[in-house]
């Protein structure tokens, strides 16, 4: 591991997945009181020419090539402005493509910062949401796809894949086959519960979309929030959603009210996960409302 500190920002080089695992272990064994609060922004090198940019609680991936840079979510005007300036330390190439992971504005605002040089890409359904939102900081994607597309730039091959509805109706995954790395935002949290009451989500389709992700060939899982994981975390999160659905369905079938279901359901096999105490009742609520809807 090579680690350099330059003018208040961090670039950490990771020479393979084992090193990542060692770092988690180190992070997890340091008592919370001994940890410094992280800087507002940092950049971590995940593989050759592949970087993770973290801005507060949000994360995005970017890939440098000899013919330009590929950036995923801009996050915000502030984040994109910082990243655009900081990238100049790593490459003299302009940003050629900005890929929106899905339409939620906490991830994709700020693309305007790259609009002088980049083309914007999303899954087809995201474009409709972005058009309706009409935010001047979020350029409308001019390139869209339904199931799958590839970008080849400066010797880098990047695949964009739509695995179905999940946390939104337009979440794509970014697969780097050479690096065996997958970037997925908001629908595969790593050992963390699903966000609150599952807003905007399609729980049954979500489980199916995770099965499609499990069929892809990769090792490193990079989420839009929280720590980097590995492929096994996809199956673990799918099992969580399946267990949540089964527990809520049982309550609904026995005529439990929402409040009773929230009180009754415990999933102790996940109690070590992030946000278990706060979000389990909210996850139950989201699933309860979903399962209680009349079906066609
Ligand atoms: Zn989202």
List, in order of start, the domains of the chain with CATH numbers.
2-292 (3.60.15.10)
pLDDT of amino acid 36 = 66
Percent of the chain with pLDDT over 90: 86
pLDDT of amino acid 114 = 98
Going by pLDDT thresholds of 50, 70 and 90, the confidence category of residue 295 is confident
For tokens 């673990």, the residue is 236
pLDDT of amino acid 64 = 98
Averaged pLDDT, 276-288? 98
Tell me how far the alpha carbon of residue 288 lies from the centroid of ligand 1, in angstroms.
20
Asked whether 122 and 104 are in contact (CB, 8 A), the reply is no
Averaged pLDDT, 75-101? 98
Tell me how far the alpha carbon of residue 99 lies from the centroid of ligand 1, in angstroms.
14
Tell me how far the alpha carbon of residue 107 lies from the centroid of ligand 1, in angstroms.
7
Mean pLDDT lowest for which of 25-29, 88-92, 268-272? 25-29
Tell me how far the alpha carbon of residue 168 lies from the centroid of ligand 1, in angstroms.
7
Tell me how far the alpha carbon of residue 56 lies from the centroid of ligand 1, in angstroms.
16
Asked whether 108 and 120 are in contact (CB, 8 A), the reply is no
Tell me how far the alpha carbon of residue 20 lies from the centroid of ligand 1, in angstroms.
25
Tell me how far the alpha carbon of residue 10 lies from the centroid of ligand 1, in angstroms.
27
Percent of the chain with pLDDT over 70: 87
Asked whether 268 and 92 are in contact (CB, 8 A), the reply is no
Tell me how far the alpha carbon of residue 226 lies from the centroid of ligand 1, in angstroms.
14
pLDDT of amino acid 277 = 97
Going by pLDDT thresholds of 50, 70 and 90, the confidence category of residue 1 is very low
Model-level pTM?
A: 0.87
Tell me how far the alpha carbon of residue 187 lies from the centroid of ligand 1, in angstroms.
8
pLDDT for 20 beyond 60: no
Among residues 135, 261, 102, the alpha carbon closest in space to that of 197 is found at 261
Tell me how far the alpha carbon of residue 106 lies from the centroid of ligand 1, in angstroms.
7
pLDDT of amino acid 38 = 73
pLDDT of amino acid 33 = 43
Asked whether 176 and 47 are in contact (CB, 8 A), the reply is yes
Tell me how far the alpha carbon of residue 5 lies from the centroid of ligand 1, in angstroms.
32
Averaged pLDDT, 62-83? 98
Tell me how far the alpha carbon of residue 100 lies from the centroid of ligand 1, in angstroms.
11
Among residues 215, 190, 192, 198, the alpha carbon closest in space to that of 52 is found at 190
Q: Which two tokens stand for residue 127?
A: 């474009």
Tell me how far the alpha carbon of residue 295 lies from the centroid of ligand 1, in angstroms.
25
Averaged pLDDT, 203-231? 98
Tell me how far the alpha carbon of residue 199 lies from the centroid of ligand 1, in angstroms.
9
């Amino acid at each position: 591991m090579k680690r350099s500190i330059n003018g208040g920002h961090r670039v950490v080089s990771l020479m393979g997945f084992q090193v990542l695992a060692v770092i988690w272990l180190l992070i997890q064994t340091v008592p919370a009181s001994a940890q410094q609060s992280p800087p507002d922004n940092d950049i971590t090198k995940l593989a050759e020419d592949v970087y993770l940019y973290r801005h507060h609680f949000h994360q995005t991936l970017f890939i440098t090539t000899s013919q330009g840079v590929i950036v995923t979510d801009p996050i915000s005007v502030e984040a994109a402005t910082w990243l655009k300036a900081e990238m100049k330390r790593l490459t003299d190439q302009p940003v050629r493509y900005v890929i929106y992971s899905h339409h939620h504005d906490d991830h994709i605002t700020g693309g305007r910062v790259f609009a002088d040089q980049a083309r914007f890409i999303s899954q087809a359904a995201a474009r409709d949401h972005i058009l309706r939102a009409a935010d001047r900081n979020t350029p409308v994607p001019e390139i869209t796809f339904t199931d799958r597309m590839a970008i080849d730039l400066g010797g880098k091959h990047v695949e964009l894949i739509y695995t179905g509805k999940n946390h939104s109706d337009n979440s794509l995954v970014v697969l780097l086959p050479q690096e065996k790395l997958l970037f997925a935002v908001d629908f595969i949290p790593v050992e963390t519960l699903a966000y609150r009451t599952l807003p905007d989500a399609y729980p049954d389709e979500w489980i199916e979309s995770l099965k499609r992700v499990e069929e892809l060939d990769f090792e490193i899982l990079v989420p839009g929030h929280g720590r980097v994981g590995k492929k096994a975390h996809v199956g673990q999160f799918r099992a969580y959603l399946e267990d949540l659905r089964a527990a809520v369905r049982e309550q609904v079938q026995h005529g439990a009210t929402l409040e009773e279901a929230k009180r009754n359901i415990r999933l102790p096999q996940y109690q070590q996960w992030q946000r278990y105490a706060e979000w389990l009742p909210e996850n139950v609520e989201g699933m309860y409302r979903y399962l209680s809807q009349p079906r066609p």
